[in-house]
Chain A
Amino acid sequence: MAAATERFLHLARPLAHTNIGLQTNIAPLSVQIQPQAVLSILDHAVRRDVRENSQSTRVIGALVGTRSEDGTEVEVRSCFAIPHTEEEDQVEVDVEYQKNMLALVLKASPRESLLGWYTTSHELNSFSALIQNFFAAPDTGTFPHPAIHLTISTEPGKDIETRCYISAPVAVNAERAAESCLFIQVPHKMLYGDAEKSALEAVASARDLESRSAPLVSDIESLGRSIEQTIGLLDRVSEWVNGVLDEDEEPNNALAQYLLSALSLAPKVDASQIEHDFNNHIQDVLMVSYLANTIRTQVDLSQRLATANLVSNEKEEGKGDGEKGGQRGNKRGGRGGGRSGGQQREPREPREPTE
């Protein structure tokens, strides 16, 4: 993640005006963002209105996700777009839309709640404050929890940066309180679990292609690619080691130690033990594969016999008899496992020498 901030200075979190006597938490807050939320925001940024007014180049939307019990960790799981218009001196957010959409989203994932909002430019202006106050308000927003404000830069040709803020009210004077607030940056990181990893891999496979699209490949193809990749990496390392041995490259103690400890992870096992384990496992695999294919053939045969017109000469006698013949054949197909194996053998031949 580009903006993963590991060293972060937590400023004291400003207290919200706790005139109601609510205990607000001032512990440091960190935000975790799941990749699909970012993708969703980027998708929204691509789909923004460009027709009418080029006034507003940014889009806004709401962040939805979960909070840890003590409120110090926030996980952004998804988000939805909110239509809004921005002009010289006024900003309009479709509040009704936000309310309805939130209800719809929460219906599908009841454990999540509104966290804050996002926008697609880094600029923080009085409109930002206005919207932020709306999202942090007790009746429409996240109060007593702070509302998260996530900004993602979407300028073409530049790196995509994300920043994350919470806010505190600042009182310039009573009239302007609604449109001013203090934004405080908080650390955030992007997290992806094992579940998304394979999805991200598939998405990333189209990264370097001109067409920006790639087919989803089968297991064996991706295995081939992974092996090639690993071989490439190994080659690079051994090239470097050879370079050091030939005194072409500058040796590096740390790297070598690292390599050595990595190499020492290779298990030392008895040759016969490996042979034994290997044979056991490969037999298991082939056995299951063989059985699965046999079962498939059996079921296939049974299906065919069930609908096959086996007794065409008795057909005149009526439908009932014809079916009976079919069923008898069916039964035979289901039980006579040994004989139908011949048909089965064929596709498996290439694998047989390995047994």
Chain B
Amino acid sequence: MSEAPKDAPFQAVQVDALVILKIARHCSSTFPTVATGSLVGMDQNGTLEITNTFAFPTVDNSASDNTHQNDATNAAAAAPRAKANITYQGEMIRHLKEVNVDANNVGWYTSATMGNFVNLAFIENQFHYQKDNEKTIALVYDTSRSSQGTLALKAYRLTNLFMTVYKEGKFTTESLQKSKLSFRDILQEYPLNVYNSHLLTSFLHQLPSPAVAAEAKEPTLSELNNDRIKAPLYPSIDNLDLSVDPFLEKTCDLLLESIESHYVDLNNFQFYQRQLAREQTKITQWQAKRKAENAQRTLAKQAPLPEDEWQRLFKLPQEPSRLEGMLNAKQVEQYSKQVDGFTANISAKMFAVRENLLPQ
């Protein structure tokens, strides 16, 4: 579990059980489309408490049925910034305030598939929230990983350094060298805690729980077969599941995607380099020409022509933003971390299975 940095406005994030369930429900019901919503809560003694949440309206694309599916995903990912949703959020919070829910917006949540959330839309959303109120957080619920047994919910915030750089909006090589910003410094993960109210605790004790030791009744076989003992919620045995291939397949797909976008980025940059080199040769040629001309003019006792006219005549190409590349790198890092975790997990399980089936 990662540690929050010292300069952060809060040290830990505490999530109410209600919020977790609501997010899980919303995200899995819209899967594979991205689901987003708003979080409300309050900040207390260095802990950000998230106590309630509500979903943002889904994007209505019935009017444009023939649009690409990508468009719908993009629109859904951009939902937290959409103007209509800002109004919606304000309205909703006002209503929630009347029934004593904490009426402060503390961030937003989004769903992801296998950790593929690091993209421009995510950054822009979080920036949108964080620029107004630095005590805001982005929760990422990983739908596909959560269905494999363990809840995959993470809390992220943009680092202060990244905020400053992003505000300037300049991601050129030079500015990155100056600010020493690397892709590792974009997002900061915060430790998450789940919190239950007293009432909920008592409710949870009524849900299927480990069987009590003193079982007096003598069951019959048909009873045993019909009334399956309900597995306890915690610790669950779902994560002993042994499926390997879907995860690997998906990860490979995602990695390939990342490599592709890395190459696109690289090609863009190379194109820019060539363009720049060409322009610069032209400028040097022009300057040499102008110099020669001026030399002749001085010989002919004429006033020299200005030598800095090239700045008007030639336009240097704009350097492409480095941000995409950085995000891609961050994304790849996220994938590989995920794979590492999975490898640790699955190899343990596989060795267990082998030992079990082939006793030495």
Contacts and interface: CB of A to CB of B under 8 A. Distances in A.
Contact of B233 (A204, A275, A288): A204
B21 A39 contact: yes
B55 A109 contact: yes
B262 to A, nearest CB: 6
Contacts of A218: 1, 150, 341
Contact of B194 (A49, A216, A227, A303): A216
Question: Chain B, interface size: which category?
Answer: 35 or more
Interface in B104-151: 143, 146-147, 149-151
Contacts, number: 343
A285 B225 contact: no
A320 B191 CA distance: 43
Contact of B196 (A157, A207, A229): A207
A46 B197 contact: yes
Contact of A201 (B1, B199, B235): B235
Interface residues of A, number: 113
A258 B225 contact: yes
- For the complex of A and B, 10 pairs with smallest distance between CB atoms: A195-B28, A204-B234, A81-B99, A199-B24, A36-B21, A204-B233, A292-B336, A203-B17, A296-B336, A254-B221
B183 interface: yes
Nearest to B52: A43
Contacts of A77: 25
Interface stretch (A21-29, A163-171, A181-189, A323-331): A323-331
B201 A207 contact: yes
A44 B99 contact: yes
Nearest to A230: B237
A40 B329 contact: no
Contact of A227 (B51, B91, B352): B352
B333 A300 contact: yes
A154 B55 CA distance: 27
B233 A282 contact: no
A299 B345 contact: no
A302 interface: yes
A289 B325 contact: no
B58 A285 contact: no
| Most chain A CB atoms below 10 A, which of B206, B235, B340, B358 | B235
Interface string A297-331: 00110111011010000000001100110110011
Contact of B173 (A78, A220, A295, A306): A306
Contact of A100 (B95, B234, B340): B95
A254 B173 contact: no
